[in-house]
Structure 1
Amino acid sequence: MLLKGVMSMPTIKDVAKKANVSVATVSRVINNTGYVQVETRQMVLDAITELGYIPNELARSLFKKQSKIIGLIVPHLSTIFFAELLESLEDHLARHGYKLMIFNAKDDIERENKIMHVFNQYNIDGIILVAHTKQTKNYADLHIPLITIDHKMNEETPSITSDNQQGGRLAAEKLIASGCKKVLHLQGPSFLLTVLNRNKGFNETIEKAGIALHTIDLAFVSPDYRLIEQFIRSHPDADGIFCSTDILALHALRALHKMQRAVPDAVAVIGYDNVELCELVTPNLTTIDQPIELIAEAAVASLLALIDKKTPEPLHKVMPVKLIERESTKKS
């Protein structure tokens, strides 16, 4: 029962009645299927416009077996890097007529299972998986085209990653060139593959140069500032700091400022990701740039190839990274 003064939305039956045609004819016009005479098609389109009819997208997707919706699963929405990646993905998908349905897994298996259930309900065309998962078989059982970003799930699933080992090497080489003799490494949780790869490139290069290295493992989301400050204070002679994310680096800058240790004269600091905040702090943060636009573009291209039943070439794309030198390190 409708409330007084509240108008109901026009239905496909209303359009059919207005155009004096069958519901099946209206459906063929809306979905652009089957033959409809030019004059009849125009009558239906005029009725749709006059009534303000909006087709039910979910119903259309079930009919056409294509929703034009891509499901995106991220591990957390609160990190700046993932927010910037999300925006780029949405832009590239929109250019191809796709919408993005976003899910926050929060590293929770139960949440992930519920998300997979939604994918079946909404006839999702494809999946972009940024969150790390242990449910490889469950995703395969969905029979939905899937790619991963920021990690490699297995040899068969297409992936887009940046060269994290090279990123770690570039950071180490910059600290070595800056004359650092004792280096601190603030890393995200070491169980993440991205962190492990950055560590490998960084640690090997630093150790090869014979430089003292001290490491602390910190939370990926909302790292504890007190632990960071305590760690830096416990190494008063450290003259270089590498952080596995820009957010960790910003915390390090805050601690150094509080301790009245000049950056970069007393301590050089390097972050990772090159988020927008790097240029808004003083001193501006030297960092390793991950090409977010290129990652998003490559991810969308790979997923669309899968949707078209083609194999992306190459199956696993590794995007180059580069050092962005700013004020938190000395000029080489």
Structure 2
Amino acid sequence: MPVTIKDVAKSAQVSIATVSRVINNKGYISQKTRKKVYQAMNQLHYTPNIAARKLQSKHTATIGVILPSLDNPLYSELFENVEKYLAVANYQTLLCTSNNQPEREQKYFSLLQANQVEGIITSSHSKFFIQQDLNNYPIICFDRSISKNIPSVRSNNYLGGQKIAKVIIHKNKKNILILSGSKEDLNPINDRIKGMLSIFQNVDTNVQTIALDFDSSLLVKKLLIQKILSTHHFDAICCTDDLTALLVLSFTKSQNHPPLITGYDGSTFVQTLFPDLLTVKQPIGPMAELMCDLLLAKIQNPQQNFETEYVFPISLTQ
């Protein structure tokens, strides 16, 4: 006997009307109740008539995600978590990678709108989204603030930079390189660098900052790092992301007196394969879950007011 909406309501311990409102995305339903209904649907293998529902309500149950790249383990883990949380809510995802090129972001934004996605999660470094009239469009930003009207979910980058710098000073390192990606206005690494410098400037250190082009391929970055390290010696190299730290480690691990290498992000992938890397860990899973909850709430009630920023604490792994 096929599973009915009545069976779902009984399993979720809610009314049939509540299940119907969840399926059709009508009226206010708390995220807790919504998740109970979707979990019941998944457990009972209940599948509503999606095609008919879309035609009637224009509810596509699709979210667009625009990320710079999946080369960085941070973004891979972030997307994996976003996709998982949205699937629980019976939403599918469309992923676009922009390499932080505004023209690609514009192209993908138009593509996502053409596919009638109900909202977008982005980690844009460019100013494309700032230049758009998006006041009534459901968008959530990861790790950067692009508009006071678009909620941002991020970690405390400034404090993370300070924590790294304090460890460097505690280990009595004097000749220090801060190796960063591109430093556009919206890039969170700017706050990480500011946090480091706020500590370094108060002690006797020689600090040099070098920015790598964010758009460069991993091979090009590797060659640039090789050139830098072949002509300079540092006691410590502070990388503003874990991927850069791993590229540096590939050159320094064979040295007799290698510098102290630090990273930033703390993805599960990096922590599993390189447990000894000193890095700042961002709570990627909880951040992804909050972004999904905020976006679904914004889709359900576009007039609801949200905070401009939601800042998560960070931790240091050693």
TM-score calculated relative to the size of structure 1 = 0.74
* Contact 1:61–1:123 under 8 Å retained in 2: no
Q: Does 1:217 align with 2:214?
A: no
* 1:149 CA displacement: 0.7
Q: Which one has more relative contact order, counting CA pairs under 8 Å at least 6 apart?
A: 2
Quote the residue 1:6 is aligned against: none
Q: Percent same amino acid at aligned positions?
A: 29
Quote the residue 1:45 is aligned against: none
Q: Does 1:269 align with 2:261?
A: yes
Cα distance in 2, alignment partners of residues 101 and 172 from structure 1: 38
| Rg (Cα) greater in structure | 1
Quote the residue 1:133 is aligned against: 126
Shift in CA distance, 54/89, structure 1 to aligned 2, threshold 3 Å:
closer
* Contact 1:158–1:312 under 8 Å retained in 2: no
Output the amino acid matched with 1:207: Q
Quote the residue 2:190 is aligned against: 196
Indicate which of 218, 227, 230 corresponds to 1:230. 227
Quote the residue 1:172 is aligned against: 165
Output the amino acid matched with 2:223: R
Quote the residue 1:24 is aligned against: none
Shift in CA distance, 54/317, structure 1 to aligned 2, threshold 3 Å:
closer
- Please identify, of 177-186 and 306-315, the stretch whose mean Cα deviation from structure 2 is larger: 306-315
Cα distance in 1, alignment partners of residues 110 and 226 from structure 2: 43
Shift in CA distance, 96/247, structure 1 to aligned 2, threshold 3 Å:
same
Indicate which of 111, 116, 122 corresponds to 2:115. 122
Quote the residue 1:25 is aligned against: none
Quote the residue 1:208 is aligned against: 202
Quote the residue 2:312 is aligned against: 319
Cα distance in 2, alignment partners of residues 196 and 137 from structure 1: 18
Shift in CA distance, 308/75, structure 1 to aligned 2, threshold 3 Å:
same
* Contact 1:171–1:202 under 8 Å retained in 2: yes
Cα distance in 1, alignment partners of residues 117 and 134 from structure 2: 14
Output the amino acid matched with 1:185: I
Quote the residue 2:283 is aligned against: 291
* Count of paired positions: 269
Cα distance in 2, alignment partners of residues 195 and 289 from structure 1: 14
Indicate which of 246, 252, 255 corresponds to 1:250. 246
Cα distance in 2, alignment partners of residues 125 and 109 from structure 1: 21
* 1:324 CA displacement: 0.5
Mapping of residues 42-61 of structure 1, within 5 Å: 57=51, 60-61=53-54
The unaligned stretches of length 5 or more in structure 2 are 1-22, 25-46
* Contact 1:181–1:239 under 8 Å retained in 2: yes
* 1:146 CA displacement: 1.0
* Contact 1:62–1:123 under 8 Å retained in 2: no
* Contact 1:246–1:278 under 8 Å retained in 2: no
Quote the residue 1:28 is aligned against: none
TM-score calculated relative to the size of structure 2 = 0.77
Indicate which of 175, 193, 212 corresponds to 1:182. 175
Shift in CA distance, 291/133, structure 1 to aligned 2, threshold 3 Å:
same
Shift in CA distance, 137/291, structure 1 to aligned 2, threshold 3 Å:
closer
- Please identify, of 165-174 and 136-145, the stretch whose mean Cα deviation from structure 2 is larger: 136-145
Cα distance in 1, alignment partners of residues 228 and 272 from structure 2: 25
Cα distance in 2, alignment partners of residues 135 and 61 from structure 1: 30
Quote the residue 2:58 is aligned against: 65
Shift in CA distance, 190/112, structure 1 to aligned 2, threshold 3 Å:
closer
- Computed over aligned residues only, the root mean square deviation of the Cα atoms, in angstroms, reads 2.5
- Please identify, of 113-122 and 181-190, the stretch whose mean Cα deviation from structure 2 is larger: 113-122
